[in-house]
């Protein structure tokens, strides 16, 4: 009898490589003490960044065989780390039996090529790992288009070959021959595909703008959930709206945006929109490709900034989120900082966010603080509304539905002369009443 032997896929084992950039030129005071303090801060930040890179690598399905961190004033323009460290890295790869390396910053084409030649192994960078995770997690057609566009832009800038001097597309001596070479052919195919993807995404963007215009016409307020990856945005959305979004303790567990209706006290409604999580050193290609998705926060009335309160790096993560929002041109919004995962907090640090208008401690997993959150949302929505007490004739009872949708119906009493209501309504609806 024939026996079948199942052979599992070979797991990649990689070495994580990072550069801790040291600040120089400090003057005044105890210079040695300041430099030591700056050096320790740089080391701590770099270690935290490598920890995050390790989580990314594991999420992508690879294992970590070792680490190498070098202190430098600047990243080496040719080999990322210094030439001495490259030799040390080659030895480490052999000792750990690693199948490749992952650098903690985006590599230039020259750095990528030089490292591959020197190490004779697979060389990847942080951007490539994030793109790989996004490709695995995208489920909607828009998400797949955005990821493919980002991947092609990344690949286009890293195509190597004989160079411009050997291209067959120009005129003059040395350009006559059988036609374009493989490099030019690849570039042309990628550019054609990028153009096609841009056209398709333009149509998706127009559809999104139509949907957004309908929401604005209905005047339903919108709150956007933003935050660092794995801060608990999807868990919070599920807890508040039963959205059924995937919850997983992994970076970028959910990628595609989700919008659900949250019914607040007084039967008023607000739309909650989940967005893709942010991360340090978020690739420029991704920001550009996902701009239409990320811009959902730009048109929101309220920004709910979900923070992982249990993370020792929460201050850095919060700053990353605000920097990304600034890059997207999102300013002047009411920001509510939600310090999530209170059930896992081990320190006694107070909840601080200087950039937020309000702060709350919550736990999406067990519901702590969510009652206070809905009350705060009600208060924020009331700020631009007018309190009215009116008796509405039964013939105009249809306006009650509009009050529930756009405002907050506090009470209603049916009397012979009509419906006596007490409600908070927006200015345009107040004029009709």
pTM score, two decimals? 0.79
Say how far apart CA 349 and CA 397 lie, in whole Å.
52
Axis crossing angle, helix 141-156 with helix 126-137, rounded to the nearest 10: 160
Say how far apart CA 71 and CA 79 lie, in whole Å.
14
Q: pLDDT (tens digit, 9 = 90+) per residue, 24-63?
A: 544 455 555 545 555 566 667 788 889 999 999 998 889 9
Strands 222-227 and 358-361: what pairing? unpaired
DSSP 362: -
Q: Is the dihedral of CA 91, 96, 97, 102 positive or negative?
A: negative
DSSP 65: E
Q: Is 109 helix (H, G, I), strand (E, B) or coil?
A: helix
CA-CA-CA-CA dihedral for 226, 229, 231, 236, to nearest 10? 60
State the 10-residue block means of pLDDT for the chain, 433 residues long: 50 91 57 53 77 91 92 92 94 93 92 92 92 84 86 83 43 48 81 93 83 74 90 90 70 73 81 86 76 77 93 90 88 93 82 91 92 92 85 86 80 89 82 74
pLDDT of residue 247: 63
Q: Is the dihedral of CA 164, 168, 171, 175 positive or negative?
A: positive
**What residues are paired with 222 via a beta bridge?**
271
16 contacts: CB under 8 Å, gap ≥ 6: 50, 53, 54, 57, 64, 66, 67, 68, 101, 102, 104
């Amino acid at each position: 009898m024939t026996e079948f032997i199942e052979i599992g896929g070979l797991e990649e084992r990689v070495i994580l490589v990072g550069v801790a950039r040291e600040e120089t030129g400090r003057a005044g005071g105890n210079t040695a003490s300041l430099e030591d303090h700056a050096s320790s801060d740089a080391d701590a930040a770099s270690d935290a960044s490598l920890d995050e890179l390790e989580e990314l690598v594991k999420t992508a399905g690879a294992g970590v065989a070792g680490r190498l961190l070098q202190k430098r004033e600047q990243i080496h323009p040719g080999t990322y780390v210094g030439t001495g460290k490259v030799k040390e890295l080659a030895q480490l790869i052999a000792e750990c039996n690693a199948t490749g390396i992952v650098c903690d910053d985006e590599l230039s084409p020259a750095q990528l090529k030089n490292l591959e030649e020197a190490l004779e192994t697979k060389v990847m960078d942080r951007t490539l790992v994030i793109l790989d995770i996004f490709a695995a997690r995208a489920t909607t057609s828009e998400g797949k288009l955005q990821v493919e566009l980002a991947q092609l832009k990344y690949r286009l800038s890293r195509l190597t070959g004989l160079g411009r001097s050997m291209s067959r597309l120009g005129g003059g001596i040395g350009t006559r021959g059988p036609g374009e070479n493989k490099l030019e052919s690849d570039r042309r195919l990628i550019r054609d595909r990028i153009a096609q993807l841009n056209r398709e995404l333009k149509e998706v963007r127009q559809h999104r703008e139509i949907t957004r215009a309908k929401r604005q016409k209905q005047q339903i307020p919108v709150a956007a959930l933003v935050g660092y990856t794995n801060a608990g945005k999807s868990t919070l959305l599920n807890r508040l709206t039963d959205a059924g979004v995937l919850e997983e303790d992994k970076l970028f567990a959910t990628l595609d945006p989700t919008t659900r209706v949250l019914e607040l006290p007084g039967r008023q409604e607000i739309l909650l929109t989940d967005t893709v999580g942010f991360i340090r050193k978020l690739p420029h290609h991704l920001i550009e490709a996902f701009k239409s998705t990320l811009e959902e926060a730009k048109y929101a009335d309220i920004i709910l900034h979900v923070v992982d309160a249990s993370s020792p790096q929460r201050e850095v993560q919060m700053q990353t989120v605000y920097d990304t929002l600034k890059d997207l041109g999102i300013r002047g919004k009411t920001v509510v900082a939600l310090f999530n995962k209170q059930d896992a907090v081990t320190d006694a640090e107070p909840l601080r966010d200087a950039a937020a208008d309000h702060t709350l401690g919550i736990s999406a997993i067990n519901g702590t603080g969510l009652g206070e959150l809905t009350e705060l949302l009600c208060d924020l929505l009331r700020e631009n509304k007018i309190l009215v007490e009116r008796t509405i004739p039964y013939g105009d009872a249809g306006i009650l539905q509009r009050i529930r949708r756009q405002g907050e119906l506090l009470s209603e009493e049916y009397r012979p002369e009509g419906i006596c209501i007490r409600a908070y309504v927006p200015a345009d609806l107040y004029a009709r009443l």
